[in-house]
Amino acid sequence: MKTVKLYWSNICILHKYEKDYLDKITDILSKKGINLEVTYFGIGFPYKLNEYLKKDDSVIPDIIVSTDLEVYEDKNIFGKFSENLYDLSKYFEIKEEIKCSNMCFDETLLPFLVIPLVFSYNNNCDGKVSSIEDIIINNTSTVIGGVNNSGAKSIVKAIWSKYGKESVEKFLSNSSIVNMPIQAFNEIKLGSNKLAITPSVYAKRADDKTLFMTYPSDGAIALPSYICANTSIDEEIMIEVIRSIISKDFCDFFVKSASLLPCIIDTKDDELVKCNDYKFLYPDKNWLDSVSSDEFFELYNKYV
C-alpha cells in the first residue's frame, strides 16, 4: 500500500460536498493499493495552509489543492517545495482560454477551478458599473470581502498588476474590506454600501430591480484553485490520484452549485464567463516575480 499525503484548502462553501467526494475517492484508491491521507486547512480547521507551511517544522505533502494563493505566490513558502514538483502541464490538459491567461504562470501548477469575482450593486449606485478601471478613476466607494484570505488579496493583486501601485492605493482608499465575500454581498443587498466585488455565485442572485450584477469589461478578477504534486510520489500514482480528483462529474458539480469555472478540458463552462469571452484579471508573471510578499503586505496592511 502506497501512502499519498494530500493537503486540501479549497472552496469553503462547498466543503461538505468536497469532503464526501474525497472520502469516496479514498475508498476507491485504497482498492488500487493507494492510501490517500487528506488533511484539511482553512475555515473551520486549526490552520490556514499558508500559515502552516510557513512553520519551520511543517511537513510538505505529496499533493496540494488550494485556493490559498499565498502558498504559491509567496516565494518564501513556494520556495520550500517548488523545485521538487512535477510539470503537471505535461500530464493534464486544460482549456485553451485558461492556457492563454495569466493564470498559467508556472507549469508545475495545474489550474483546477476559477472563482470569478464580479460587480454586485444596488439602486443607490450611480448608473451601471462597467469596469474596474472606471471605479478607480471615479473614486467609487467599493466593498470587498475576505480580508484574511485570498478573497480580498486577489482583488488587490490583480488591480495592482493591471493598473499600477498608485491605482490600487486609490482603489483601497475608497474601499472597505470585510471578513468574508458573502458579507460584502449582504452589505449591497441591505443597502449599507452601493457597490461590491463579489464571487459570481452571490452576484447571480441579482433580481435586476433592487440588486444588479455586471461582469467587468476589463475582466472578472480570478481567484483560482491550483493543484501541485511533489516528486516524492511515483509518476503513475501521482497521475492516478489527480485524475481521480479532477473527474468530469466533480468539476461539473462546481459549475452547477457555485458558478465556478473548471479549467480541465471537456468539463462544463459557466455561462456567465463564457458569454464574456473568459476575460479575467490575474497578476502577470512579471508582477509576481517583482513584487515581494513584504512589499504587498506593507501596502495591504495600511488599508485593513
Predicted confidence (pLDDT) at residue 234 exceeds the cutoff of 80: yes
Q: Hey, what amino acid is at 224?
A: P
Q: Are 236 and 21 in contact (CB under 8 A)?
A: no
d(CA 94, CA 14): 22
d(CA 136, CA 24): 46
* Domain positions in the chain: 2-114+223-275, 115-220+293-300
Share of the chain above pLDDT 70, in %: 99
DSSP secondary structure, the chain, as one string = -EEEEEEEE--GGGHHHHHHHHHHHHHHHHTTTEEEEEEE-STTSS--HHHHHHSTTPPP-SEEEES-THHHH-HHHHTTTGGGB--GGGT--B-HHHHTSTT-S-TT-EEEEEEEEEEEEETTSSS----HHHHHHTT--EEEE-TTSHHHHHHHHHHHHHH-HHHHHHHHHTEEEESSHHHHHHHHHTTS-SEEEEEHHHHTT--SSSEEEE--TT-EEEEEEEEEEBTTS-HHHHHHHHHHHT-HHHHHHHHHHH--EE-BTTS---HHHHHTTT-EE---HHHHHHS-HHHHHHHHTT--
Q: Are 2 and 233 in contact (CB under 8 A)?
A: yes
- Chain position carrying cell 505566490: 73
Cell (9 digits) for 144: 470587498
d(CA 57, CA 73): 20
Chain-centre distance of CA 244, in angstroms? 21
d(CA 31, CA 42): 29
200 exposed, middle or buried (CB, 10 Å; 0-12, 13-18, 19+)?
buried
Predicted confidence (pLDDT) at residue 196 exceeds the cutoff of 80: yes
- Predicted pLDDT of residue 43: 80
The whole model's pTM is what?
A: 0.95
The CATH homologous superfamily for domain 2-114+223-275 is Periplasmic binding protein-like II (3.40.190.10)
Mean pLDDT of the chain: 95
Predicted confidence (pLDDT) at residue 190 exceeds the cutoff of 90: yes
pLDDT class of 252 with cuts at 50, 70, 90:
very high
The answer to which of 39-53, 103-117, 211-225 has the lowest mean pLDDT is: 39-53
Q: What is the mean pLDDT of residues 213-239?
A: 97
Q: Are 71 and 78 in contact (CB under 8 A)?
A: yes
Topology agreement, domain 2-114+223-275 and domain 115-220+293-300: yes
Partners of 40 in beta bridges: 8
d(CA 222, CA 122): 23
d(CA 79, CA 245): 25
Give the tens place of pLDDT for each residue, 155-173. 999 999 999 999 999 999 9
pLDDT class of 12 with cuts at 50, 70, 90:
low
Q: What is the mean pLDDT of residues 35-44?
A: 92
- Residue of higher predicted confidence among 304 and 62: 62
- Chain position carrying cell 508582477: 287
The CATH homologous superfamily for domain 115-220+293-300 is Periplasmic binding protein-like II (3.40.190.10)
Q: Are 262 and 112 in contact (CB under 8 A)?
A: yes
Predicted confidence (pLDDT) at residue 13 exceeds the cutoff of 80: no
